[in-house]
Structure 1
């Protein structure tokens, strides 16, 4: 990357990329990000919903715009305000779930809903069937019946099957739904994640970059999982972590060290030296 100009915007995935294996921001990475943010937009681009962003922002010491829920939500972390959300309507959610249940007996569902602020009541944001919660226990989940689960628009539909890990389930879900929803996985063994057609990390970041008046070829992005591929494909220079999924390593312009060795900071320090 020696011939690449200083980026005009930096975009980074969170888990497995910016955060270390203990799910924390290291001192070195925090310093590097703060140095970037002093003169250049720094954008978090994550599969996490907005409610999980404030903790990361607090550790970084930088509060800016975050692209959340795999591109479906644009969130202003400084103002704690959702600026935009791309939602799936109840009918689409119900139809997708019905077809998947018929084709893949044993699959179970959860949804993420958008709210105005990250700190709004979490009980209204993450809802799931009891069998989903049993398979993937999470304190944030509120267990509900199907009628309530699909009764309102959602930014993300998640699918789990006890017999199949997420990456194995993906191809089968894709076979059933085709291009009607955008499919990805953000964690090994986690759920398959579905968004509105054309909604992914690349589309969410593109909207932010356009609003800021930055050119696509001036953007550098970092990631490690399949949900990062649309972003790394879209940016001018895509950097994969050494610990990344094979598909991410294959399409990246550059491979840095792993997230446990400050791989993001190592690249950013070429242009931004922290004191």
Structure 2
């Protein structure tokens, strides 16, 4: 009987990591994940996407376990279709935080992800979705964004680069919210203290697996807390420099099956 895989939990981001640019998962990556599962490991999706925006992908992957969604604010059970745990961003604090940011950099354009398994992504006038395949509902005024509970706020600035906007936002909002950058054109405000690491830790606890037996894959600064929690963090070749700087290992890009390359090596080493 083959020895077990070195890691019991494989935590993967989706966009820019497991997913290729066309939102698909390669056959090679599917085979590697299936082989890892046969070797006794569990696969956990840890994504910035809210649960409603990730459900079609999980179905396409035949994924039926827990998934950490919304930058760690949601723990979704793909097998039952239920939200196991969620935390919302206080809407009054979100408005105040947005005002503080605009006092520093001028007008920004905002969107929100509503809470719940059927929550919508609402975008105010002027906001353009950075990921065109994700559905969104345009609303006529900003105040409509706050009408229902939300898990996070997404920000775009007409001139500032993402790194600049994120840096200003962190200084402006302080403890009102957690600021993260999860992809091109995607600076986000989420509940204070909530990160991918908090969601990953909660999911791992429910699975009975500790950080010492977890390997994590990612590509953006929002994956830094996840790398800090896991025993081994692997950054994709296409990853942001901030994540590469703290990674334990670099692999090939998402287009070149970087996750599969690492898992195949680990499987061969058993």
Alignment TM-score, normalising by the size of structure 2: 0.90
1:25 correspondence with 2:25: yes
Q: 1:54-82, CA deviations, whole angstroms, 9 ceiling, x for partnerless residues?
A: 33223433321111111111111121111
Partners of 1:95 and 1:62 in 2: how far apart?
38
Q: 1:182-217, CA deviations, whole angstroms, 9 ceiling, x for partnerless residues?
A: 1111112x1311111110111110111112221211
The residue that corresponds to 1:166 in the other structure is 162
Shift of 1:225: 0.7
Q: 1:151 is matched with which residue: 135, 147, 150? A: 147
1:240 correspondence with 2:241: no
The residue that corresponds to 2:92 in the other structure is 91
Partners of 1:158 and 1:20 in 2: how far apart?
23
Provide the secondary structure at the position in 1 that maps to 2:96: helix
Q: Is the 8 A contact 1:33 1:62 kept in 2?
A: no
Q: Is the 8 A contact 1:179 1:197 kept in 2?
A: yes
Partners of 1:51 and 1:36 in 2: how far apart?
27
Q: Is the 8 A contact 2:130 2:186 kept in 1?
A: no
Larger deviation, residues 227-236 vs 171-180: 171-180
Partners of 2:76 and 2:205 in 1: how far apart?
15
Shift of 1:98: 2.2
Provide the secondary structure at the position in 1 that maps to 2:182: coil
Q: 1:195-244, CA deviations, whole angstroms, 9 ceiling, x for partnerless residues?
A: 11110111110111112221211000000111111101110111111111
The residue that corresponds to 1:256 in the other structure is 251
Q: 1:242-275, CA deviations, whole angstroms, 9 ceiling, x for partnerless residues?
A: 11111111101111111111110111123447xx
Q: Is the 8 A contact 1:8 1:218 kept in 2?
A: yes
The residue that corresponds to 1:42 in the other structure is 43
Q: Is the 8 A contact 1:89 1:152 kept in 2?
A: no
Q: 1:214 is matched with which residue: 189, 195, 209? A: 209
Q: Is the 8 A contact 1:205 1:231 kept in 2?
A: yes
Q: Is the 8 A contact 2:11 2:216 kept in 1?
A: yes
Aligned CA-pair RMSD: 2.1
Partners of 1:63 and 1:94 in 2: how far apart?
36
Q: Is the 8 A contact 2:73 2:87 kept in 1?
A: yes
| Number of equivalences | 263
